[in-house]
Amino acid sequence: MKVYRGTLEKPIVFPESIVITVENLNSIDFDKVIYCEISPMGAMGNEGGILIYVLSDEDNLITYETNASMDQQSFDAVLERIDQNANFFVNYRGGFGNYVYIKENTQLEIDEKYGCFWYHSQNTKLRIDSSVQGVFLSVVADMKGEAVTKDE
């Protein structure tokens, strides 16, 4: 389903969301990961959560999610895969124990009005939401080289 918002001039495509399991972890193509967020146990916001946005084709994203409180084995396996692919990403401080990885050489538009990032594909803008607003604000501050006043 494509929704249009007049100010965007392009359709918004909402991503499919898939829960990560040990069985489907290998189906995640880390070459196509655009945004990855890790919130270890003890972090503020999405505590124990991992959120991954993957470009499934040129105009669609899929989100993959897991949480340590629901499935510790999958959480640990995803962390290991992220560590194995860390050289493909730029690391940003998500504040309060959160970590964000954005695919190297990927330009995300910062939309402070709507509190999200936009990935521009050829035909549309793909919305990327951080798990909580505080993570978004911390990453934006880190991207802009601004001092974060409230952090870990």
The HSE-up count of residue 70 (CA atoms within 13 Å, CB side) is 12
Residue 32 belongs to a domain: yes
Both tokens of residue 125?
């803008």
Long-range contacts formed by 23-28: CB under 8 A, 24+ apart: 25/74, 25/77, 25/78, 25/81, 28/52, 28/54, 28/64, 28/81
Q: Within its chain, how far is the Cα of 69 from the centroid?
A: 19
Q: What domain count does the chain have?
A: 1
Long-range contacts formed by 104-107: CB under 8 A, 24+ apart: 106/34
Residue 80 belongs to a domain: yes
Range of the domain at 88: 2-143
Rounded distance, CA 15 to CA 34, Å?
13
Residue 148 belongs to a domain: no
Residue 151 belongs to a domain: no
Both tokens of residue 11?
């359709």
Q: Which pLDDT score, from 0 to 100, does residue 5 have?
A: 43
**Beta-sheet strand order (sheet of 98-103):** 16-19, 60-67, 49-57, 33-39, 98-103, 89-95
| Blockwise average pLDDT, block size 10, the chain, 152 residues | 47 78 93 96 93 91 94 96 95 94 95 94 88 95 76 42
Residue 86 belongs to a domain: yes
Residue 48 belongs to a domain: yes
